[in-house]
Structure 1
Amino acid sequence: MAKISSYFEADSVLAQALPGFAPRAAQTTMATAVASTLKKRQQLVVEAETGTGKTYAYLVPALLSDGKAIISTGTKALQEQLFHRDLPTLRKLLAPSKVVALLKGRANYLCIHRLQAAQAHASELTKAQQQQLREVQIWAQRTRDGDVGAISGLPEDAEILPVVTSTVDNCLGRDCPLYDDCHLVLARKKALDADLVVVNHHLFFADMALKDVGFGELVPAADAVIFDEAHQLPDIASQYFGEAVSSRQLQELAHEIKVLYLTELKDLRQLEKAADKLLLSLRDWRLVFPTEPQRGNWRQHAAQAEVQHAAQAVEDSLTFLVQVIKQALGRSKDLDNAYDRCIDGLAKWQLLMDTQRTGYSFWYETTVRQVTLHQTPLSVADKFGGYLNRSDMAWIFTSATLAVGEDFTHFTHQLGLYKAATLCLPSPFNFADQAVLCMPRYLPQPHEFSMADKLVEIVLQVLEVNTSGGTFVLFTSHRMLQRVATLLAPLTERELLVQGSTSKRELLEQFIANGRAVLLGTASFWEGVDVRGDALRCVIIDKLPFASPDDPLLQARVEDCRLRGVEPFMRVQLPPAIIALKQGAGRLIRDAHDQGVLIVCDQRLVTKPYGGLFLKSLPAMRRTRELNDALEFLKALETS
């Protein structure tokens, strides 16, 4: 086989077949390192900044190598882009005999058994659900893969989707009468038979942690795993190596048991009473938490007498329900499944009531109607790193943002990647000419009330000169976003797109279509957003993205550092903030022709000693403290 580097030369098969392809030294370096890692079954961590071409740098070696490879992405959007756009072209050119497959999580696939159940009890659905059910029924007759994302008439958050898809809890597995026709089962079979499988991080860890019944076969069958958007892995891994129980899960279980009583087991009146008792205790349970949706420290909250009383009531209700169902085991497969879920829910509930165990963060998360309790390990390094070291596989981790400066320690130590080789590849873009980084003088401190007014003033000054381009304003909190949105709305005629008013995808489509809009967003817009050209000429960031000091997982990690005699700020708080700022800054320059201004409205970037670490990690843009310099740069773009 030819050297990997030859595929990235000016006269290569890729150059001849792909419009706009041009050799990039960093891309060739990465591809060579990936190919070597795959061959030797080692570990590699690569930061490849925007413009490097990292997607092809790992896809080409993966397609040309022997054995089975899994490619895991951070989002379904990138997952679909890889499978539907990038892979077909490369596969045709380089490895036409290789079989590739796309595998999503079970919530993305129609469950035929649950669809039939919904049809049988359609009268119990809301009018909106009944209307959506009709669309699902029509689509179900023609779909081949059962991917509900293909139902064009339904919104992403359609009420009917949880009714016609399965969860780990309510899936009957091999006991399902429609098991052989199950879209999820067929998708998994395709994945197991394929040479290259595209998954996402959540699905990968569900498999690895064996959280999904009947799964856990995919990862052990692979010879190589490649993680794109790998900066997300530490947090996602923590979720899957922890435990959680939500009131929503238990409510859905109770409602399904009530339906079984009304349809199959009408002589078991006690079943309905037990389910109603659980629902009542769960309503009371929500009332002992703050009204506003939030995260909090479960260990502290659990110490309150009223909380303990409400928790005991839920446990008693679950115990009673278990006893009632036990008397009817064997009469219904769905009821037998519900019994197993009750037992599992009760065990998790009792586990999460024991908050005195060390090594974990205990925290809760509320919505308007629900409460979820979490037990999250403070470190996954032993579990994840141990798994990697025991496996005879190649492991590759890549993202545009993994290092602090050029130091990968924060990332590698979180995942236990002590043997991994590291590679830091700069962007080929000419940031010094393409962009300006402005850190305006004379700003209030980020926590001061006047900061919102100052932000609005800066946005208006930008809009005055950025007349034919778009602007992102990125926030670290919803509260500041809403305050600025309220102040800004009556002061500009530009289209103002505010996160939460509609879906992220819809907001981005409107932003790009308008070409000169203003988009106000929080965390989800700091990464995974690709807007090229004049539609995005300016990114304004309200403050350095440190995690909230009230975040219970952060509190637990800080406390753990102190107990071990380690300084928590440099070890726990600073690195994620630097990586998050790199992500936000990365929204601005997406290709070699983009130009624009990044404005960071936080004095700490220049007044605090750690500000230098942030600046060292950002692209080498021309820097200024004068807002007028940035405005002049934007004004010049109007005439260029």
Structure 2
Amino acid sequence: DVATRFFSHSVSAWQLAELCRDTLAATATAEGSLKVLQHPVDTLKSRINLLSSAAYNLPERGDWQRLSQVLDSLKSIHQAIDELAQALDPLQEQCRELANCFDRALALGHTLNMLLDPGSKDHNGVRWFRNRRGRLTLNLTPLDIAEPFTALRAEFESTWIMTSATLAVNGRFEHFTERLGLVDPTTEIIESPFDYAFQSRMWLPESLPQPNHSTHTETLLRTVLPLLNASRGRAFLLFTSHRALQTATHWLRAHTQFQLLVQEEAPRDALLEEFRARPGSLLLGAASFWEGVDVRGDALSVVVIDKLPFAAPDDPVLAATLNAVREAGGNPFVELQIPAAVLALKQGAGRLIRHTNDTGILVLGDPRLTSKPYGRIFLNSLPPMPAVAGADEAIEFVRNRLS
């Protein structure tokens, strides 16, 4: 994902608004420049606002075809960027700030041209957008990063070392190495310093409804509530969708007395700080809490993951990538979707044991782990946490560790 973002191109309404603000600010140190730049800046700002109004009712994300109603606005913005760059060009010698604005205008104009002209020689990928109440971000994301990454590596005569706790899928690295175009790399799995047999347990509750069933979230919460009571909170509840997150929030507030710390109700860092300071709380999060979160010690004893984290089917980049694999005669579910979900699950599960002194239990609420053949791939890819037979054994483990 990091490499894909690195080789992607984007233009956002925020970047354009920042360019307008910075350009006007720079005129304070360049005599006579305001008179030249005021009109092209005002023109660009006006067209950004017109685009925002036209795009307000667009979905939160989608492929380029869904932008047909705002293409004329985008073309007018491209023209306004060019006019601003032309006005900045003769002024860039007056101060460094104006030169910087000129460079940014050129770069933004070039990227927008790639997006508007699919026949451009620089165009290689899928075009899509994000929308936040009319504030668009336009993206050009490569489907194949092996070629640009190989070219980047060729610029440096050095050894590349890539490490992570979540690179391997079922003990193998092909998903990672093939995606980056690595030829005959040296790979190794280094054993964890954690004693998972002593420090942790895994619980796969039985008789849960299928993950697409309307009662799945509520049933999972009812099932794990005795465990959460035994652990006196001290739990992360991680969800694969914001809808499930909101359902869980409403249910827990109606049926428990736990202090709930909920994603989007406060900044992430503030939620984590309060979670550490309030041992009896529950933290409920979606995607952004599955990785990069480190809570050590008794503050965290339980991690509940509601479903296998398969990427949303409406993701335009995923849809285009799956189609490309399908057209090449491959199996996109096996080659892409399962490995990506395995790595995401490993990230979420990795929130539990962060230190050799940590203990806790991982609860996985997706029955596909035991009912589908591919469930074994997920389980084999996780740390070797011993499985408990049921709720009673899970509760006993937690109580013994907290006593």
Give the TM-score taking structure 1 as reference length: 0.58
Query: 1:363–1:373: 8 Å Cα contact kept in structure 2?
Result: yes
Deviation at 1:252, TM superposition (A): 1.5
Q: Which aligned pairs between 1:13-412 and structure 2 lie closer than 5 A?
A: 235-260=1-26, 264-265=30-31, 269=35, 271-291=37-57, 294-298=60-64, 300-302=65-67, 304=68, 306-326=69-89, 330-355=93-118, 359-368=124-133, 370-388=135-153, 391-412=156-177
Change (3 A) 1:285 1:544: same
Change (3 A) 1:565 1:263: same
Query: 2-side partners of 1:625 and 1:350: how far apart?
Result: 59
Query: 1:261–1:272: 8 Å Cα contact kept in structure 2?
Result: no
| 2:184 matches 1:416 | no
Deviation at 1:581, TM superposition (A): 0.8
Read off the aligned partner of 2:77 and give its amino acid letter.
V
Query: 2-side partners of 1:293 and 1:626: how far apart?
Result: 42
Of residues 519-528 and 604-613 in structure 1, the stretch that sits farther from structure 2 once superposed is 519-528
Q: Helix, strand or coil: the match of 2:384?
A: coil
Query: 1:441–1:625: 8 Å Cα contact kept in structure 2?
Result: no
Structure 2: segments with no counterpart, 5+ residues: none
Deviation at 1:356, TM superposition (A): 5.8
User: Which residue in the other structure is 1:171 paired with?
Assistant: none
Query: 2-side partners of 1:631 and 1:638: how far apart?
Result: 11
Query: 1:386–1:416: 8 Å Cα contact kept in structure 2?
Result: no
Query: 1:455–1:484: 8 Å Cα contact kept in structure 2?
Result: no
User: Which residue in the other structure is 2:296 paired with?
Assistant: 532
User: Which residue in the other structure is 2:349 paired with?
Assistant: 585
User: Which residue in the other structure is 1:513 paired with?
Assistant: 277
Query: 2-side partners of 1:258 and 1:590: how far apart?
Result: 48
1:321-358 per-residue CA deviation (whole Å, 9 max, x = no partner) reads: 33444565655553344333323322221111123677
Query: 1-side partners of 2:106 and 2:297: how far apart?
Result: 55
Query: 1-side partners of 2:352 and 2:399: how far apart?
Result: 17
Query: 1:365–1:372: 8 Å Cα contact kept in structure 2?
Result: yes
Read off the aligned partner of 1:342 and give its amino acid letter.
A
CA-based RMSD = 2.5
Q: Which of the numbers 411, 436, 443 marks the counterpart of 2:208?
A: 443
| 2:319 matches 1:555 | yes
Query: 1-side partners of 2:33 and 2:319: how far apart?
Result: 51
User: Which structure 1 residue ranges, 4+ long, deviate > 6 Å from structure 2?
Assistant: none
Q: Which of the numbers 305, 308, 329 marks the counterpart of 1:544?
A: 308
Q: Which aligned pairs between 1:586-601 and structure 2 lie closer than 5 A?
A: 586-601=350-365
| 2:217 matches 1:455 | no
Query: 1:471–1:538: 8 Å Cα contact kept in structure 2?
Result: yes
Deviation at 1:573, TM superposition (A): 0.9
Q: Helix, strand or coil: the match of 2:62?
A: strand
Deviation at 1:400, TM superposition (A): 1.0
Query: 2-side partners of 1:366 and 1:404: how far apart?
Result: 33
Structure 1: segments with no counterpart, 5+ residues: 1-234
Of residues 472-481 and 323-332 in structure 1, the stretch that sits farther from structure 2 once superposed is 323-332
Q: Which of the numbers 597, 604, 612 marks the counterpart of 2:368?
A: 604
User: Which residue in the other structure is 1:58 paired with?
Assistant: none
Query: 1-side partners of 2:385 and 2:221: how far apart?
Result: 24
Deviation at 1:293, TM superposition (A): 7.4
Query: 1:439–1:627: 8 Å Cα contact kept in structure 2?
Result: no
Q: Helix, strand or coil: the match of 1:445?
A: coil
Read off the aligned partner of 1:523 and give its amino acid letter.
A
Query: 2-side partners of 1:430 and 1:333: how far apart?
Result: 56
Query: 1-side partners of 2:32 and 2:152: how far apart?
Result: 49
User: Which residue in the other structure is 1:42 paired with?
Assistant: none
Query: 1-side partners of 2:353 and 2:236: how far apart?
Result: 13
1:542-588 per-residue CA deviation (whole Å, 9 max, x = no partner) reads: 11011111111111210110121111111111111101111211222
Query: Which structure has the higher relative contact order (CA within 8 Å, separation 6+)?
Result: 2
Read off the aligned partner of 2:170 and give its amino acid letter.
G
Query: 2:230–2:399: 8 Å Cα contact kept in structure 1?
Result: yes
Query: 2-side partners of 1:489 and 1:277: how far apart?
Result: 49
Q: Helix, strand or coil: the match of 1:423?
A: coil
Change (3 A) 1:618 1:310: same
Number of matched pairs: 401
Deviation at 1:614, TM superposition (A): 0.3
Deviation at 1:527, TM superposition (A): 2.1
Query: 2:27–2:98: 8 Å Cα contact kept in structure 1?
Result: no
Q: Helix, strand or coil: the match of 1:322?
A: helix
Query: 1-side partners of 2:170 and 2:160: how far apart?
Result: 23
Query: 1-side partners of 2:305 and 2:394: how far apart?
Result: 14
Read off the aligned partner of 1:274 and give its amino acid letter.
P
